[in-house]
Amino acid sequence: MEQFQAVAAQLGLDHTIVPIFGMLVVLYLVLSAVYLRPYQRLLENRKKKTEGARNEAKELERKAEEKMAQYKASIKSAHDGARKVLSDASDEAKREESRVLAEASVRAKNILHDATLELEKQKKTVLSEIRGEIPALASQVAAKVLGRQL
């Protein structure tokens, strides 16, 4: 104990150390109850709110990713539907084009056939008229060549 007293004397500690230590303990207990515990509760509440906000943000992000996936799927579906509609319309247009071309070809062939028949008819008419005029023309040519009337 003498050594303790010698060390205490060198440090300038006397018999007032015990009441000072007691006051420090009381002060710690009072300050702990008044300031430290409320401050710890405040920090804990802040931590809970922050974690809650993080969890909520993660949940919102997950929902946003789900919505984005649904959106992309619906866009793909719409594009596929549009492609199908365009393909169907293109096929229908090709069928209609083929039908119209076939109909036009038939009409053209009919018109050409009718024109050919009409030309043959006119050719026969002209030939029969010319055959009827050939004797008269032959006698006119002979008259001119011979220089007299036949």
Helix H or strand E encompassing 123: helix 37-146
- Do 149 and 136 contact (CB within 8 A), yes or no? no
**In terms of residue numbers, what domain contains 40?**
2-146
Cα(138)–Cα(150) distance, integer angstroms: 10
Cα(100)–Cα(45) distance, integer angstroms: 80
Cα(60)–Cα(63) distance, integer angstroms: 5
Residue with tokens 């993080």: 54
pLDDT at 150 over 70: no
Nearest-Å Rg of the Cα atoms of the chain is: 60
Alpha carbon 109 to chain centroid, angstroms:
48
Please give the tally of structural domains in the chain. Answer: 1
Cα(132)–Cα(125) distance, integer angstroms: 11
Q: Which two tokens stand for residue 133?
A: 């005029």
Q: Which two tokens stand for residue 1?
A: 């104990």
pLDDT, tens digit (0-9, with 9 covering 90-100), for 86-145: 999 999 999 999 999 999 999 999 999 999 999 999 999 998 888 888 888 788 888 888
pLDDT band at 11 (very low <50, low <70, confident <90, very high): confident
